[in-house]
């Protein structure tokens, strides 16, 4: 028996649509589940108080501070390196053996799992460079981790700047560096912001690499050599050791909200960027 | 003066551009330096094939963990690959552009959700369901495979969507002009043309599944024994490192770094394979 192609198509499209709905349903379920259980716990005192009794009581203020400082430090290191790499690859060279090696390295780095970054940070920054479990070790490790993300998004942003802009700049006698600084980078800025948001999102979601390098001390850091605890780590410790279900959900809710906001801003800036370019 | 500044900028950028490859080298060198001597001391064959992991008695075989990682990854790909490719095909071929613009970022959001949250929901929702309806402890290969199968979706979907998008429109038009339905055009022409990109997306997804740590720790049960069924608890390579590292010293610590070396080699192999597949057909 042969089923007419039209009916096959209807059937298949139905199945593909079902798969898409299922995927979206999983996303909605995760977000709603966490927010539903967690949001009632999130009050101003929860956000502004210190954790007490290993996180059973009190709030998450030093943990929020840690979650802000660590990505800031990581981005402070990865942003100049990533944007600089992207500028070199697009503005200063043609496709050569060298650029192929650089791109290969970037792609490989992007595929390395976070636990390997954690092991490396533990040996190199914590051990050999004597930084200990600290903000600095964690920031450096995460900087390497998000470097490929920053390079890729910056490259795309820089490539989207019309060639005519560069030609006009050069025809007015500007050097290549002046063109990069005054024409290319300002026009690529929104795309670079997208990379920053995505990088920050990866940093605050990360757990394994952070535990290995920044430690788990839930106190206000005073210097770059103090250990910090991020929200993802705090959530993991509370949930896995079964210390406090309630505060775990509260932390997860704040974490998910932060991730949602970062991703939305990233998408929105990129979209605005593309629209402006299309005009 | 301006020209020398220009030259200076050029060399600075070249130096900066080497940062990624330099980081990769550092990671490779230090992973090997910490782990390789142990593997040679313990015996590579013994280390990789023995299923006896008992640090108190100096038994460091990771065979059971390798098998566990294989099972969990295979299970994850059985769920994630068909689902991901189906979503990618639907989004790129059967949905109007404006709808795609809303759904694609939502799916990319799945990649942004922290892995601990996936693990936690797996532990709280999925594991009890499996325990009640299928038996066993609930924290097992099946739970881990389902959680990882969901976690690889964004990787599979976004790379597959790019690959399908790179197929020239004239291919589709040609098939439609010959009287094919849209689905026939997709199945016989578009998917064939985008094959290498789709395969690469699956391999990269596999890399993510092998390397995932926190979610797996929370749902796989973590018993370092050879599994005999889908409902038994297992410990993967990544979980082994993360669970024991904080308390490990001496040989035990070296054995964990050696576990990291095994993981590193597997991941680099998968990445190179994905890149080779993508390059072969030149699909971006």
User: Distance (Å, rounded) from C-alpha A8 to C-alpha B187?
Assistant: 12
| Among B21, B107, B238, beta carbon nearest to A105 | B21
Residue B224 has pLDDT above 70, yes or no: yes
Residue B284 has pLDDT above 60, yes or no: no
pLDDT (0 to 100) of residue B229 = 86
**Phi, psi dihedrals of residue B259, rounded to the nearest 5°:** -60, -40
pLDDT (0 to 100) of residue B1 = 67
Q: Which range of residues forms the domain containing residue A79?
A: 44-278
Chain A, nearest residue to B210 by Cα? A113
- Do residues A106 and B18 make contact, with C-beta atoms less than 8 angstroms apart? no
Chain B, nearest residue to A178 by Cα? B6
Residue B283 has pLDDT above 50, yes or no: no
Q: What is the arithmetic mean of pLDDT over A215-244?
A: 87
Residues 6+ apart with CB under 8 A from A178: A169, B2, B6
- pLDDT, tens digit, 9 for 90 and up, residues A61-109: 899 999 999 999 999 999 999 999 999 999 888 888 888 888 889 989 9
Interface of B with A in 201-240 (CB under 8 A): 204, 207-208, 210-214, 217-218, 238
Residue B3 has pLDDT above 80, yes or no: no
- Residues A25 and A84 both lie in one domain: no
CA dihedral A38, A44, A46, A48 (to 10 degrees): 140
Residues of A79-118 as b/e, b for ≥16 C-beta within 10 angstroms? bebbbbbbbbbbbbeeeeebbeebbbbbbbbbbbbbbbbb
- Residues A152 and A107 both lie in one domain: yes
Q: What percentage of chain B has pLDDT greater than the value 90?
A: 68
User: Distance (Å, rounded) from C-alpha A52 to C-alpha B214?
Assistant: 25
Any idea which of A195-199, A204-208, A263-267, B209-213 has the lowest mean pLDDT?
A: A263-267
CATH code reported for the domain at B22-280 = 1.10.3720.10
Half-sphere exposure of residue A118: CA atoms within 13 angstroms, side-chain side: 28
- pLDDT, tens digit, 9 for 90 and up, residues A156-178: 899 989 999 999 998 998 888 89
**Phi, psi dihedrals of residue A59, rounded to the nearest 5°:** -120, -155
Q: Is B139 on the interface with A (CB under 8 A)?
A: no
| Among B20, B105, B242, beta carbon nearest to A115 | B242
- Residues A228 and A245 both lie in one domain: yes
- Do residues A140 and B52 make contact, with C-beta atoms less than 8 angstroms apart? no
- Residues A22 and A123 both lie in one domain: no
Cα–Cα distances (Å) from A208 to A67, A141, A224, B63, B224, in that order, read 14, 11, 20, 23, 20
Question: What's the structural domain count of chain A?
Answer: 2
Of A231, A124, A235, nearest to B120 by C-alpha is A235
Higher pLDDT, B140 or B4: B140
- Residues A97 and A114 both lie in one domain: yes
Chain A, nearest residue to B183 by Cα? A9
pLDDT (0 to 100) of residue A138 = 95
Q: What is the arithmetic mean of pLDDT over B134-156?
A: 93
Q: Is B129 on the interface with A (CB under 8 A)?
A: no
- Residues A57 and A13 both lie in one domain: no
Which residues are bridge partners to A57 per DSSP?
A: A52
- Residues A245 and A137 both lie in one domain: yes
Judging by beta carbons within 10 Å of its beta carbon (0-12, 13-18, 19+), is residue A208 exposed, middle or buried?
A: buried
- Residues A32 and A72 both lie in one domain: no
Kindly list the residues from chain A whose CB atom is less than 8 angstroms away from the CB atom of residue B120.
Answer: 235, 239, 248, 252
- Residues A101 and A11 both lie in one domain: no
- Residues A57 and A15 both lie in one domain: no
Q: Name which of B19, B81, B150 to mutate to probe chain A: the one with the most chain A Cβ atoms within 10 A of its Cβ.
A: B19
pLDDT (0 to 100) of residue B281 = 60
Q: What is the CATH classification number for the domain harbouring A270? A: 1.10.3720.10
DSSP B221: B
- Residues A127 and A255 both lie in one domain: yes
- Residues A186 and A232 both lie in one domain: yes
Helical axes A135-159 vs A114-121, angle rounded to 10°: 130
Q: Name which of A4, A11, A110, A116 to mutate to probe chain B: the one with the most chain B Cβ atoms within 10 A of its Cβ.
A: A116
- pLDDT, tens digit, 9 for 90 and up, residues B56-75: 888 899 999 999 999 999 99
């Amino acid at each position: 028996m042969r089923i007419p192609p039209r009916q096959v198509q209807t059937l298949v499209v139905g199945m593909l649509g079902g798969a898409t709905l299922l995927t979206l349903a999983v996303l909605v379920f995760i977000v709603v589940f966490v927010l539903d259980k967690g949001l009632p716990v999130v009050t101003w005192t929860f956000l502004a108080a210190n954790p007490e009794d290993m996180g059973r009581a009190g709030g998450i203020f030093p943990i929020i501070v840690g979650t802000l400082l660590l990505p800031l430090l990581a981005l402070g290191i990865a942003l100049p390196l990533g944007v600089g790499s992207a500028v070199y690859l697009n503005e200063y060279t043609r496709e050569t053996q060298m650029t192929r090696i650089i791109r290969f390295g970037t792609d490989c780095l992007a595929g390395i799992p976070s636990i390997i970054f954690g092991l490396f940070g533990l040996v190199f920054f914590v051990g050999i460079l004597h930084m200990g479990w600290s903000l600095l070790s964690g920031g450096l490790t995460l900087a390497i981790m998000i470097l490929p993300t920053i390079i890729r998004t910056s490259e795309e942003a820089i490539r989207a700047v019309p060639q005519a802009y560069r030609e006009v700049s050069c025809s007015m006698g500007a050097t290549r560096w002046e063109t990069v600084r005054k024409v290319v980078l300002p026009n690529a800025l929104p795309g670079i912001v997208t990379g920053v948001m995505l990088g920050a999102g990866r940093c605050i979601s990360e757990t394994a690499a952070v535990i290995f390098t920044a430690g788990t001390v839930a106190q206000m850091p005073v210097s770059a050599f103090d250990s910090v605890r991020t929200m993802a780590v705090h959530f993991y410790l509370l949930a896995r050791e079964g210390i406090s279900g309630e505060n775990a959900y509260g932390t997860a809710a704040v974490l998910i909200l932060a991730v949602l906001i970062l991703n939305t801003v990233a998408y929105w800036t990129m979209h605005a960027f593309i629209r402006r370019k299309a005009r | 003066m301006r020209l020398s500044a220009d030259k200076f900028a050029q060399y600075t950028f070249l130096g900066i551009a080497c940062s990624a490859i330099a980081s990769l080298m550092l990671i490779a060198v230090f992973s090997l330096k910490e782990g390789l001597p142990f593997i040679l001391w313990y015996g590579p064959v013994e280390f990789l094939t023995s299923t006896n992991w008992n640090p108190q008695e100096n038994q460091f075989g990771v065979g059971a963990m390798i098998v566990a990682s294989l099972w969990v990854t295979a299970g994850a790909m059985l769920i994630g690959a068909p689902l991901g490719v189906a979503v990618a095909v639907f989004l790129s071929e059967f949905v109007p552009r404006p709808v795609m613009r809303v759904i694609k970022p939502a799916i990319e959001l799945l990649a942004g959700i922290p892995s601990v949250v996936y693990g936690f929901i797996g532990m709280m929702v999925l594991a009890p369901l499996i325990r009640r309806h299928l038996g066993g402890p609930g924290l097992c290969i099946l739970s881990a495979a389902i959680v990882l199968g969901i976690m690889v979706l964004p990787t599979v979907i976004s790379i597959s969507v790019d690959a399908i998008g790179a197929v020239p429109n004239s291919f589709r038009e040609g098939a439609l002009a010959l009287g094919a339905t849209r689905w026939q055009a997709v199945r016989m022409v578009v998917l064939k043309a985008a094959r290498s990109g789709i395969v690469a997306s699956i391999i990269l997804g596999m890399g993510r599944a092998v390397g995932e740590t926190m979610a797996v720790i929370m749902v796989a049960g973590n018993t370092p024994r050879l599994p005999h069924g889908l409902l038994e608890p297992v410990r993967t390579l990544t979980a082994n490192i993360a669970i024991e590292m904080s308390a490990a010293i001496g040989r035990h610590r070296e054995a964990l770094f050696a576990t990291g070396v095994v993981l590193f080699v597997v991941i680099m192999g998968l990445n190179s394979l994905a890149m080779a597949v993508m390059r072969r057909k030149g699909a971006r």
